Chains A and B, each alone.
Chain A
Amino acid sequence: KQEVTQIPAALSVPEGENLVLNCSFTDSAIYNLQWFRQDPGKGLTSLLLIQSSQREQTSGRLNASLDKSSGRSTLYIAASQPGDSATYLCAVSPYNTDKLIFGTGTRLQVFP
C-alpha cells in the first residue's frame, strides 16, 4: 500500500532563507507527483506537477525534483517571503489505483 510522508511537519524560518521541503513515498510505481499549497481555511492550489519521466519542474522561486527510484521528492523555495507561509502537501498518482495519495503536509511559517 502506497504511503506518502512529509518531513518536517512544521517549519519556521526567517524571511530570505532558501528552504527545502521533503516528500517520500513507498512505491515507485507512480504516474506523477504534485505539490500543493493550502492557506488556512482554504482549498488547495496546485504548484507543480512532475511526470514520472521528469526529474524536476520549476515555477518562479519554486523548484520541485523527483527521484522515483528512491521514492523522494523535494520542493525548494528560494528567497522565502512571509507570503509563502502556508501548508505544503505532496500527492502521488499510483499505477494501481485511480486515487491520488496525499501526504499530511508541512506547515511553513516565514517570519519577517
Chain B
Amino acid sequence: DVKVTQSSRYLVKRTGEKVFLECVQDMDHENMFWYRQDPGLGLRLIYFSYDVKMKEKGDIPEGYSVSREKKERFSLILESASTNQTSMYLCASSSGRRNEKLFFGSGTQLSVL
C-alpha cells in the first residue's frame, strides 16, 4: 500500500525555535507538497517540489523554507517559529505534472508556545 509518512503526529515548540517537519513517501513520486490547514481557512499551500533540489513557493511561503535532497524526502523548516504558525501541517505527493491522484500523510499538529 502506498504511503506518505510524516515524522511526528504532535509537536510542541517554543517561539523562536527552528523546527523541522519531515515527510517521506515510498511511491517514487516526483511531486511533493506542504500544506497547512486552519479552521475557517481551509488548506493553504506553503511550498511544493517537482524534483530533487527543486522547489516552488506556494501561497503562503513566508516564514518557511524547504529542502529536497532526495526524491523520497521533503522537509519543511520553520526558521524561527512563531505562535501564528500553530497549525496542522500536511504533506502530500503525486506523480506527473497534472496533479494526478494526491496522497496525503496523516498530518503533524504543531503548537508553538
Contact = CB atoms under 8 A, between A and B. Distances in A.
A19 interface: no
Contacts of B107: 41-43
B101 A49 contact: yes
Q: Which of A89, A98, A103 has the most CB of B within 10 A?
A: A98
B46 to A, nearest CB: 11
Interface in B67-113: 88, 90, 92, 97-107, 109
Contacts, number: 53
A98 B57 CA distance: 11
Contacts of B27: none
B102 A100 contact: yes
A66 to B, nearest CB: 15
Contacts of A41: 88, 107, 109
A106 to B, nearest CB: 12
Contacts of B26: none
A111 interface: no
Contact of A93 (B43, B92, B98, B103): B98
Given A34-B101, A46-B104, 19 more contacts: A32-B98, A32-B99, A34-B102, A36-B102, A41-B107, A42-B106, A42-B107, A43-B104, A43-B106, A44-B92, A44-B104, A49-B100, A91-B102, A93-B98, A98-B48, A98-B50, A98-B56, A99-B99, A105-B42
29 contacts: A31-B99, A32-B98, A32-B99, A32-B100, A34-B102, A36-B104, A41-B88, A41-B107, A41-B109, A43-B4, A43-B90, A43-B104, A43-B105, A43-B106, A44-B90, A44-B102, A44-B104, A46-B103, A46-B104, A49-B100, A89-B43, A98-B56, A98-B97, A99-B45, A99-B59, A99-B99, A100-B102, A102-B42, A104-B42
Interface of B: 4, 42-43, 45, 48, 50, 56, 58-59, 88, 90, 92, 97-107, 109
